[in-house]
Amino acid sequence: MTYTLYYSPGAASMAVHWMLIEAGIPFEARLVDIDTGAQHDPAYLRLNPAGRVPTLVVDGVPRHESAALLMLLAERHPDAGLAPDLESPERPEWYEMMVFLANTLLPAMRDWFYADSDGDPAGAEAVRALAERRIEAAWDRLDAHLADDRAWLIGDRLSTVDLLAVMLMRWSRNQPRKAINWPHLGPYITRLRALPSFIELNAREGLTEWNNPVS
């Protein structure tokens, strides 16, 4: 099995990058810096015609969509334990939560960050206002889910849901209402950010914002 991850620091590629590190899966990482427009490079567009990150080349075939890539990797590497077993009662919840994050929260985030370029700039403020409501409703839902003081979003161990959720929570750091300020999301984020794989991920992507304070 061979993997090449095309990523941009802190972007939607982050959860996939995190999973590859956490699971100890060998891979090659290639930077596509979206801040410099590298996603529009003709060579990259041949791998990802939408001009977005991530792309994960799996055994020579370019694959896309962060949530799908996490689920694919979980299936190809079951020993990593990053998804509940097929027969486990937690498996349906895992599907539900992966799709909720990918289908509801991630598009609202895209709208918030790209309202001016994906749509008519004249309507951007209204788009962002609606996106904010959707994002905050998602924090409410995830916060309520963690209200029983569980350590992880699904079951009793880390899963791809946590990797995707924390990446999305990180994106709220400069938004008017930050996920970290929700009562149960705050301690959850602090716990997840302390994982050695998260620290390693930030080092590899050169990210210095939104880490736990060094004690």
Bridge pairing between strands 61-64 and 28-31: unpaired
The residue nearest ligand GSH at its CB is 52
- Residue 64: strand pairing partners: 55
* Of residues 51 and 81, the one with the C-beta less far from ligand GSH: 51
Those residues with Cβ within 8 angstroms of residue 98's Cβ, 6 or more apart along the chain or in another chain: 67, 70, 71, 160, 161, 164
Shortest distance, position 21 Cβ to ligand GSH, whole Å: 18
* Of residues 117 and 215, the one with the C-beta less far from ligand GSH: 117
Residues lying near ligand GSH in the complex (CB under 6 A) are found at 11-12, 34, 39, 51-54, 65-66, 106, 110
Q: What are the residue ranges of helices labelled H in 12-159?
A: 14-22, 42-47, 66-76, 91-100, 106-118, 124-145
* Of residues 94 and 171, the one with the C-beta less far from ligand GSH: 171
Shortest distance, position 53 Cβ to ligand GSH, whole Å: 4
* Of residues 85 and 96, the one with the C-beta less far from ligand GSH: 96
* Of residues 70 and 155, the one with the C-beta less far from ligand GSH: 70
Shortest distance, position 186 Cβ to ligand GSH, whole Å: 24
Shortest distance, position 127 Cβ to ligand GSH, whole Å: 15
Residue 195 is which amino acid?
L
Shortest distance, position 164 Cβ to ligand GSH, whole Å: 9
Residue 76 is which amino acid?
R
Burial of 90 (0-12, 13-18, 19+ CB in 10 A): middle
